[in-house]
Chain A
């Protein structure tokens, strides 16, 4: 497995988790999510976010609302649902589990 492929696989697995995490902090619109993901180098191209948002919405983890913006057309603001919050908690637990096990693995190797 090449490094590039490894990165892709990791990102792919974590993208949903990260997006949920960002939305859970505050009400955001798509561009803000994209900015944040780009800054933390989780996504490379913006287009990948939209299908994911649509899927999260279909699973009722998130909901959206149209809000007027001071500049330009109205924006779509996303917020997390109670169900989504629950799901996120589970994800956080499993992530910390994996994270600590991987850390443990790396330690013993040294």
Chain B
């Protein structure tokens, strides 16, 4: 059983299997891209689609109602791949290559593939590596990265990149031993998987940096599932000859026997793999649970702080109730109270969004998130700037020691909100 999609191509409707659709889509995209220069009113691509539709209608019948991968491959063979067009129209081709070379020399933020502002994936595009690697490095290098990130954000213009030209790092679970991370990296870097495995294992004895890297990659990368993803993983560009090459190569790979050394080397891991996999599943669950608990506690804590702060800032406490505290409150300027409230609110919203992302992989609107982060940093800066003055002011008035000596506690009263009470 396979999932099918319904497509409307050249005014006709076809049911097409998912993997076949993916290849067809990439094929049409590559053609669109190729004829971009001469095909202003997209007439060529429409003609292409019409002809493909004609070819498809010859493939379907009452007993075979769905277009499958072999049909698509056949049709692509009939229509011709980019290499075939290059023979006839090599003049357009050279222009394209030149343009590409030009753009690659500059560093851009990648607006087509971003989490916050596309800095990481822009750097990745520049060095022709996977954005995930740069993101993981950024993630490890807290908090220096934040500054670097913002500088890059401001300093580098953004640009859309063609996602099909990008090589993507996927986990190759099919051919992997544990999670397919090493095999995925080996596909990506075109290095033998065993070398990467050895590096990972050796790094275990040096503080376990490799382990951290492994788990981060595991966490951040997707497993290659569809044919298109598997091809992207190996750096294939989709056209007919490539699809065939790829499938040939894959079957050949599966048949080629491993040598004894590899077998011996991998044996303990093969043995451990189910165990580690089970352990990891539990680990991920435990991690998520702990993360959930911590983020909930954090959010609740910040919320309480917010309530406390807003009630004591905006509610007048009479001098009779506690002269010292009244004086203390008076030294806090109104603007600072407002900054703090907004800052805490932003913190809550951002932590909720991040928690949702980590726990359920639900992405929010990245532009919205970008603005939030920006505001958060802006308010944090404002607070940092104004805080020293206020503290100095308090110290000058000799307010701080009395207040922090533990004789006071906050009490919640239904009618009055937060109150400061002197302990007996």
Contact = CB atoms under 8 A, between A and B. Distances in A.
A46 to B, nearest CB: 5
B49 to A, nearest CB: 10
A11 B88 CA distance: 9
Question: In this complex, which of B53, B78, B84, B88 has the most chain A Cβ atoms within 10 angstroms of its Cβ?
Answer: B88
Nearest to B84: A45
Interface residues of A, number: 24
A30 B50 contact: yes
Interface in A35-88: 44-48, 50-55, 57, 72-76
A55 to B, nearest CB: 7
Contacts of A51: 35, 38-39, 44, 85, 88-89
A18 interface: no
A48 B47 contact: no
B44 A46 contact: no
B87 interface: yes
Interface of A: 8, 11-12, 15, 30-31, 34, 44-48, 50-55, 57, 72-76
B48 A50 contact: yes
Interface in B29-64: 31, 35, 38-39, 43-44, 47-48, 50-51, 53-54, 57
B10 interface: yes
Contacts of B84: 44-45, 47-48
Given A45-B79, A45-B80, A54 B44 contact: yes
28 contacts: A8-B88, A30-B47, A34-B51, A44-B84, A45-B77, A45-B79, A46-B78, A47-B48, A47-B79, A47-B80, A47-B84, A48-B85, A48-B88, A51-B38, A51-B39, A51-B85, A52-B88, A54-B38, A54-B43, A54-B47, A57-B43, A72-B12, A72-B54, A73-B10, A73-B11, A73-B50, A74-B11, A76-B47
Contacts of B31: 47
Contacts of A30: 47, 50-51
Contacts of A75: 50
A23 to B, nearest CB: 14
Contacts of B77: 45
Interface residues of B, number: 26
Question: In this complex, which of A50, A52, A75 has the most chain B Cβ atoms within 10 angstroms of its Cβ?
Answer: A50
A30 B89 CA distance: 19
Contacts of B51: 30-31, 34, 46, 50
B110 to A, nearest CB: 30
A18 to B, nearest CB: 13
Given A12-B87, A48-B84, 20 more contacts: A30-B50, A30-B51, A45-B79, A45-B81, A45-B84, A47-B31, A47-B48, A47-B85, A48-B85, A48-B88, A51-B39, A51-B44, A51-B88, A54-B38, A54-B44, A54-B47, A55-B38, A72-B54, A73-B10, A73-B12
A57 B40 CA distance: 13
B77 to A, nearest CB: 8
Given A30-B51, A51-B38, A46 B80 contact: yes
A12 B85 CA distance: 10
Contacts of B85: 47-48, 51
A50 B78 CA distance: 13
A92 B81 CA distance: 31
B239 to A, nearest CB: 11
Nearest to B41: A54
Interface in B2-44: 10-12, 31, 35, 38-39, 43-44
A15 B88 CA distance: 9
Nearest to B43: A54
Nearest to B82: A47
A72 B57 contact: yes
A29 to B, nearest CB: 9
Contacts of A50: 44, 47-48, 51
Contact of B78 (A45, A53, A72): A45
A34 B51 CA distance: 10
A78 to B, nearest CB: 11
Contacts of B80: 44-48
